[in-house]
Amino acid sequence: MDILALNCGSSSVKYQLFDWEKKEVVAKGMVERVIIGDSFILHEVPGRETYREDSECPDHQVAIDLIIKTLLDPSHGVLKDINQISAVGHRVVHGGEMFTRSVMIDEEVLNAVKEVQHLAPLHNPPNIAGIEAAQALLPKVPHVAIFDTAFHQTMPEHAYLYPLPYDWYEKYGVRRYGFHGTSHLYVSKRASVLLNKPPCDCNIITMHIGNGVSHCAIKNGVSVDTSMGLTPLEGAVMGTRCGDIDPAIPAFMMQKENLSAKEIDSILNKKSGVLGVTGGRFTDRRDVIEHANNGDRLCRIALDIEAYRLKKYIGSYMAAVGRLDAVVFTAGVGEMGWPIRERAIEGLEHLGICLDKERNKGAMTRKRESLITTDDSPIKVFVIPTDEELVFTEDVAAILAGTYTDHMNFTYSFASKDFVRK
């Protein structure tokens, strides 16, 4: 059984084809610049060179059609027949309060996703377009929705409600939802294995740090708080998003610069964060680290701000979960950015976190799970490469088999001591 995982963004479609029987990735890749022009596909097959093809994709259906054609291509593909695809798993960023677990997509589910797209106007519309496009191209196979927000639906009211007029929540659903749920799920389950404890006995802080950044406080195996809120704009410093700021700043700057609501929203989401602090030059932390090391003042400040905010989230989430077992860094920057990890962790010895600087510098791979604290550190810190697509695949396979319940009760393969990442 081959399962296709799709992650449709506003101008891209990521995909992965997984052989369920062999438990291995058959192919993966991405179509970039969908809708905006000069589109192309990058297609990776283990043991082969990466294949690139330029092909205009004016919409997501054309992009997914290109993916299918590439998978079936006699020279570059891996499938002989489209019927080898047994099911499709779709990432859906926002499920509102309705979805606490992955579900089979039917008309009712799709309509429910459409009803909450105003909560994620940059993400849900392309997710929906991808589902409808894939259903049109693969009408005979089951399609499953995997929600970013589902993992965080265990948060208590005092964590997800904002101190705002309560009828905003009742009328418009204004509350904290959280995102990157599949990533937080995967790395927290893997951390419990490394701790040699069942997930329900683990208190963990997971830190997903890429261009988008979110943190999660996990108590007894479930999410009790997370840094992103109603939208992915709240929380930590990100590549282009500001994260937590004084809420009066947008209105203040709208008056000073005569900006519209749409313009200020674009600035906070696309021109702030690391990009904003570095004067509009960098989002890639490798560039920021290199220029900071060469004396660039703004890059040094950007690193200091990001690391300081990370440190504060660790402290606040320790207060939220009580006894802490581990902190986990994941995603691109979390897995590769050792200087940012060092800045965030150093000085926390009084809280029971003792960094091993050499271990931290050596944890520069997206293929290996690493301990970066000392052996006698009361609280462990791990670097764990995330695998959201594996969560998609296992949810899909379990739903098809009728064995899936939810992330709290379902036993994932990667939560086993015998699991080997391929």
Residue 210 to residue 157: CA distance in whole angstroms:
28
CB of 236 closer than 8 Å to CB of 213: yes
DSSP 290: H
Return the HEC string of 390-419. HHHHHHHHHHHHCCCCCCCCCCCHHHCCCC
What is the set of active-site residues? 148
Residues 63 and 34 sit within 8 Å (Cβ to Cβ): yes
Look at strands 370-371 and 380-383 and give their pairing.
antiparallel
Query: Which of 258, 86, 73, 235 is closest to 152 using CA atoms?
Result: 235
Quote helix, strand, coil % in the chain, to nearest 5: 40, 20, 40
Residue 360 CA to chain centroid, in angstroms? 22
CA distance 236 to 241: 9
Whether the CB-CB separation of 211 and 196 falls below 8 Å is answered with no
Rounded distance, CA 189 to CA 225, Å? 17
End-to-end CA distance of the chain: 18
Is residue 17 within 8 A of residue 78, CB to CB? The reply is yes
143-147 vs 103-104, strand pairing mode: antiparallel
Distance in angstroms (rounded) separating the CA atoms of residues 234 and 136: 35
| Phi, psi dihedral angles at 271 (to 5 degrees) | -130, 15
Sign of CA dihedral 226, 229, 231, 234: negative
Q: Of 304, 237, 233, 310, whose CA–CA distance to 268 is shortest?
A: 233
CA-CA distances (angstroms) from residue 353 to 123, 331, 344, 382, 414?
36, 21, 11, 11, 26
A 10 A CB-CB count for 343 gives 17
Long-range contacts (CB closer than 8 Å, 24 or more residues apart) made by 348-351: 348/311, 348/314, 348/315, 351/314, 351/315, 351/318, 351/379
